[in-house]
Amino acid sequence: MDHAVCARCLAEGVLPDGCVRHPGHQVVAAWLYDERVACVVQALKFGARPGLARTYADRVAGRLPARLLHSVILTSVPLHAARLRERGYDQAARLGEALADVTGAPFVPRLLRRVRATRAQSGLGSAERRDNVRGAFVVEHPAWVRGRRVLVVDDVLTTGATMTECLGVLRSAGARTHGAVLAWAS
């Protein structure tokens, strides 16, 4: 994948390529989601293989424009505490940490907080996904992000609902936002 897609257009069901209407909602993906990538994502997310984040962070970093990495802080889409206890680790945070190691940009965990548990997004339609995550995230320390460039990391961009919600709350706190994921399920 050679360019970013707009998570907000994706969430609204509009063609996400080449959007100039929604600055701050651009998301770079290392791959398009296919069977091979699905195996990697499933192993990272559900297969107790958090070390895969380190293996593929170079690929994500290689897709990021150099200008984006200047003065950026990294954070990740957070899991709810109950899901974190169930899984034992947060795959998006592991990917964010690994991306920080590769790029030299600081990773700030818990910059975003999931304030309520949500249903798993898989199996939900686009509108259901938007409703499911609406109001689920807050910026823990708004003063930390005001005027800063923040890159939000996640494993997969599907309908764009989760990423759009995270980018939106950060933008409301005054951040300049972007996203990065392992794969876009186009």
Domain harbouring 145, CATH code: 3.40.50
Counting the structural domains of the chain, the total is 1
Task: State the CB neighbour count (10 A cutoff) for residue 143.
Answer: 10
Q: Are 73 and 151 in contact (CB under 8 A)?
A: yes
pTM: 0.89
CA angle 40/17/28 to nearest 5° reads: 40
pLDDT, tens digit, 9 for 90 and up, residues 13-28: 888 888 889 989 999 9
pLDDT, tens digit, 9 for 90 and up, residues 87-135: 888 889 999 999 999 999 999 998 999 888 776 666 666 667 667 678 8
Domain extent for 166 = 4-184
CA angle 28/34/38 to nearest 5° reads: 90
